Amino acid sequence: AQSVAQPEDQVNVAEGNPLTVKCTYSVSGNPYLFWYVQYPNRGLQFLLKYITGDNLVKGSYGFEAEFNKSQTSFHLKKPSALVSDSALYFCAVRAYNTDKLIFGTGTRLQVFP
Amino acid sequence: DVKVTQSSRYLVKRTGEKVFLECVQDMDHENMFWYRQDPGLGLRLIYFSYDVKMKEKGDIPEGYSVSREKKERFSLILESASTNQTSMYLCASSPPGLAGAHEQFFGPGTRLTVL
């Protein structure tokens, strides 16, 4: 069965420190992986995706993610967190051979000043 | 920029009412999606449409139906609203092709409360 897991409900980090939001996946075939961010009372905004190529993917707002095939992970990272990064983050994987996405349960990132 | 709009940001309905949630996208996307978002459960797919008049059930279609009469518009219908359908409803669209490599574009969401 295809699935995506976000093992942490919440991640707390101090402003200026590096942040990591974890995501692991289980899929058939080649994984297409996505990160989205949701600010309060808003829809989801696309951050970045991995389809093929370089394992390190750069996205919006200074975020990046590293695809690790052996660990079946796609962790979201940022070198220096901002208070404005506080939001709900979703990892998603394409369902095999379709245009549908399977979403994780989300991780709330709280950046403290 | 792709724009996906939803007819209401907040909606309050009574049990048993028929509820229509409307979604419109302006980028000529073939694919449109309806999700519900609940705390701790993430986003769950209710229905998916890959073309006009074409639809496919998602993971939780029970109690819902959809309509896609025009390419830009995808409606979610709650035939008889129940309190367990209180949730945030998100609409999304994406272009087809590349076997799912395209990201989805989301509307702002409709927070539905059923009393």
| Helix, strand, coil share (%) of chain A residues, nearest 5 | 5, 50, 45
pLDDT at A41: 79
Question: CB distance A95–B100 less than 8 Å?
Answer: yes
What would the pLDDT profile of A13-51 be if each residue is shown by its tens digit?
999 999 999 999 998 888 899 999 999 878 899 999 999
Question: CB distance B50–A99 less than 8 Å?
Answer: yes
Chain A's closest residue to B33, CA to CA, is A100
- For residue B1, the SS3 value is coil
What would the pLDDT profile of A53-72 be if each residue is shown by its tens digit?
899 999 999 999 999 999 99
Q: Does A29 touch chain B (CB under 8 A)?
A: no
Residue B101: count of CB within 10 angstroms of its CB: 16
Chain B nearest CA to A43, separation (Å): 4
